[in-house]
Amino acid sequence: MPNVSIPGSGLTGNSNYFLYSPFKESECTPVTDLSVTIEITQDVNLAGSGLSIQLNGNSPKDANPKWQQYCIGYSADGGQISATIENWIAPKQINETFPLLTLPGTSPTLPAGYQFTIGLSNDASGNIAGATFTVVDNRGNLTSSGLIELTHLQTEGGGSVTPAMLAPFYAFQLVIVGKDDGDYIYLSSGAGAIIYSATSPLMAATGRPTCAAFGGTIESSNSAYGELPEGSSTEIVQPFSTTLPPTYVPGGRFAVSRQFGTDQTNFYGVCRTGQVDVFSVEGHGHWRHRKRLGTPGMSRPYAAVAAVQGATNQTDVFVVGQEYANAARRLYMFSVKDTGEWSQAQEVSRGPYQSHGNLAASRLADANQTGVFLIDSKEQLNVFSIPDTGTISPTPKLIGTPTFPASAPLAASQRFGVPKQTDLFVIDKVGQLNVVSAVSGAWGMPQTIGPKSLFVPGAFIATAQHAGVHDRTDVFLVDKSGQLIMFWVRGSRNWSDPVQIGEADFAVSGAPVAAAQQPGVSPQTDVFLIDKTGTLYVFWLDASGLWYGPKQIGPPGLAPSASTASPVSIGSFVAASAQFGEANRMDVFVLNETGTNAPGWPAQFWIGESGPWNGPLALVTEV
């Protein structure tokens, strides 16, 4: 019997098959007396706070609740195993947790031989009326919650759960994911089997049946699920294991900066364990992997990183963590001075931030401070001022009203020709470019540049000083049509109208852009962009003011194309930097899809003086 096709989002993390009872006369029928057992056959070792075995149930579209969730969770820091029932009953919710047992020792491991079972019971109408959670350890000892009747529970508001609040499963998914809201968990090893049984026949599907209501989970992991055969059965066995994801998300975000006080160039990316990796090269030497910052599970593998000069000869790196406690994720800072040792993670603030969001950092033009910028989950622009000396305030300054999409990309820069002004750029919810400026440390209100609806709200932004013009600031974006657009301003004058560069439909709308002055040649501004085929291109502006390009750099498909780019970004990220300590050399970086160490490894292109372009070569392995 052939296997069911793999869902478009794969069989990993929070995307497993849906299981349902075969339709009768084109109508869904309830899944009855469902029991799901997870057998651990190889130690599950995890980095992070813990994991959750989630049985997510989709009820009829007219039901209340439409979505039900029955979970067994493991907290790695204390070894506690507990059960949770969550039913989304408008306008309230069942949210009850039941302790089961605590594992001996302190190792963040679920040992081989353990079994976890979620058993559901139905009433005469097919509604889920009760749940039983059991754990059998690797010595055969059984711990059970006993039958938990839903009508003996209360909603979060303290009201009684009535029979009218019960509903059947029309479809369900079993996933092994992070423990708390939005968490990603990295499993370094582990394998087992998922055993489904019911009194009604079960059949696998790649998507949710149309007669069932929507529902899903935002937590994720690198767990992988086996394929299931076509046809129906009252018992189905599905293997699961850990899958080794790319070291870095292909096309994902990273940062490049000088290590200040040295002739060293650094590359920073969040790896699959949720830690910040630091690669570096000194002068014209060989790239090395220098350091892994933070603890496993600290952040998400695709989290944005910002790097900037801090105090004298100090490099500061910022990342948002994924911890969830009272809806507050942490903004972290790591620092290194000259050629010294990197600091431990320093918490800047806790707030309603998104670990998959974007952030920016810049040395503030009024000196003695570094600015860190991010938009929180309330769509409010946050500005942190990090002083060179003294204590960091955990409270950001909030600018304007909530008009920006949560996690929108940001870019920050000095306003060239205006000694004490710092500019922050972001696209608002109507697709218009905004600039917020600080003069001598005092932040003003957002001001708009150009027309509305020119850009998608998630568009990336790059800024650079115009080569050869000391008081001109250039800003680059890709508009809705996929065309590269520039705005510019001289000193404190008015901003230009949008300037179109190249052709429309060249890149993904809102794609990441990098801009820099090319060293070693007559004044020249270079702009780098990855097109829809995953090919790196450069546009350039010479001293006469004429734009040239696009010129192809490297092979097609090196970076993810539009259709395969990370779901948390638009297109593929690219960054450019001088290679410090090597005269007249410019480097350009991507996280590759193909090539050495692919997928998901830093690849570098470079040019010396007037060319030609070289690369791509993989950091450490080839360059």
Domain of residue 539, CATH code: 2.120.10.70
Q: Is residue 12 part of a domain?
A: no
Q: Cα–Cα distance between 540 and 517 in angstroms, integer?
A: 9
Domains: count for the chain: 2
Give the confidence band of 559 by pLDDT, cuts at 50, 70, 90. Answer: very high
**Whether 224 and 273 share a structural domain:** no
- For residues 218 and 334, which has the higher predicted lDDT (pLDDT)? 334
Report the relative pairing of strands 223-225 and 233-242 from DSSP bridges.
Answer: antiparallel
**Whether 236 and 266 share a structural domain:** no
| Greatest Cα pair distance in the chain | 82
pLDDT tens digits, residue range 4-35? 999 888 899 999 999 999 876 567 899 999 99
Q: Is residue 375 part of a domain?
A: yes
- What single string gives the DSSP state of each residue in 10-71? -SBTT---EEEEEEETTEEE-B-S-EEEEEEEEEEEEESSEEEEEEEEE-BTT-SSSEEEEE
What letter would DSSP give residue 77? T
| 3 state SS for 288-338 | EEEEEECCCCCCCCCCCEEEEECCCCEEEEEEECCCCECCEEEEEEEEEEC
- Mean pLDDT, to the nearest integer, of 565-583? 84
Q: Answer yes or no: is pLDDT of 568 > 70.
A: no
Q: Answer yes or no: is pLDDT of 184 > 80.
A: yes
- For residues 96 and 179, which has the higher predicted lDDT (pLDDT)? 96
Closest CA to 99 of 119, 72, 118, 139: 72
Q: Is residue 160 part of a domain?
A: yes
pLDDT at 328: 61
Give yes or no for a contact between 21 and 203, defined as CB atoms under 8 angstroms apart.
yes
Select from 181, 216, 242 the last residue of a domain: 242
**Whether 358 and 422 share a structural domain:** yes
Q: Hunting for tokens 């901003």 — which residue is that? A: 495
The CATH number given to whatever domain includes residue 227 is: 2.60.120
User: Which of 328-332, 472-476, 495-499, 599-603 has the least mean pLDDT?
Assistant: 328-332
| 3 state SS for 530-596 | ECCCCCEEEEEECCCCCEEEEEEECCCCCCCCCCCCCCCCCCCCCEEEECCCCCCEEEEEEECCCCC
Q: Is residue 165 part of a domain?
A: yes
Please give the C-alpha separations between residue 538 and each of 477, 597, 605, in angstroms, as whole numbers: 14, 24, 11
Q: What is the mean pLDDT of the chain?
A: 91
Q: Cα–Cα distance between 332 and 325 in angstroms, integer?
A: 15
Give yes or no for a contact between 201 and 233, defined as CB atoms under 8 angstroms apart.
yes
Q: Is residue 8 part of a domain?
A: no
**Whether 277 and 229 share a structural domain:** no
User: Cα 196–193–97 angle (5° rounding)?
Assistant: 70
Give the confidence band of 46 by pLDDT, cuts at 50, 70, 90. Answer: confident
Cite the DSSP H helix spans in 390-435: none
pLDDT tens digits, residue range 363-417? 987 768 899 999 988 899 999 999 888 788 888 999 988 889 987 899 999 999 9
Q: Cα–Cα distance between 507 and 572 in angstroms, integer?
A: 10
Share of the chain above pLDDT 90, in %: 72
pLDDT tens digits, residue range 161-183? 999 999 999 999 999 999 877 78
**Whether 237 and 263 share a structural domain:** no
Closest CA to 394 of 354, 458, 336, 350: 350
User: Cα 599–600–602 angle (5° rounding)?
Assistant: 120
pLDDT tens digits, residue range 495-552? 999 999 999 999 999 999 999 998 878 889 999 999 999 999 999 998 788 899 999 9
Structural domain span for residue 560:
255-618
Select from 242, 263, 295 the last residue of a domain: 242
Q: Cα–Cα distance between 98 and 84 in angstroms, integer?
A: 6
**Whether 231 and 346 share a structural domain:** no
**Whether 236 and 297 share a structural domain:** no
Q: Cα–Cα distance between 42 and 114 in angstroms, integer?
A: 10
Closest CA to 525 of 483, 486, 560: 486
Q: Is residue 2 part of a domain?
A: no
User: Which of 152-156, 272-276, 554-558, 566-570 has the least mean pLDDT?
Assistant: 566-570
Return the percent helix, strand and coil in the chain, to nearest 5. 0, 50, 50
Give yes or no for a contact between 183 and 322, defined as CB atoms under 8 angstroms apart.
yes
Positive/negative CA dihedral, 94, 100, 104, 109: negative
**Whether 262 and 312 share a structural domain:** yes
Give the confidence band of 240 by pLDDT, cuts at 50, 70, 90. Answer: very high
Q: Answer yes or no: is pLDDT of 90 > 90.
A: no
**Whether 350 and 424 share a structural domain:** yes
The pair of three-digit structure tokens given for residue 413, joined into one six-digit string: 């820069």
Residue-wise burial string across 555-576, b where 16 or more C-beta atoms lie within 10 A, e elsewhere: eeebbbbbeebbebbbbbbbbb
**Whether 184 and 268 share a structural domain:** no
pLDDT at 326: 42
Give yes or no for a contact between 462 and 507, defined as CB atoms under 8 angstroms apart.
no
Give the confidence band of 327 by pLDDT, cuts at 50, 70, 90. Answer: very low
**Whether 201 and 76 share a structural domain:** yes
Give yes or no for a contact between 558 and 536, defined as CB atoms under 8 angstroms apart.
yes
**Whether 231 and 306 share a structural domain:** no
pLDDT tens digits, residue range 465-481? 998 899 999 999 999 99
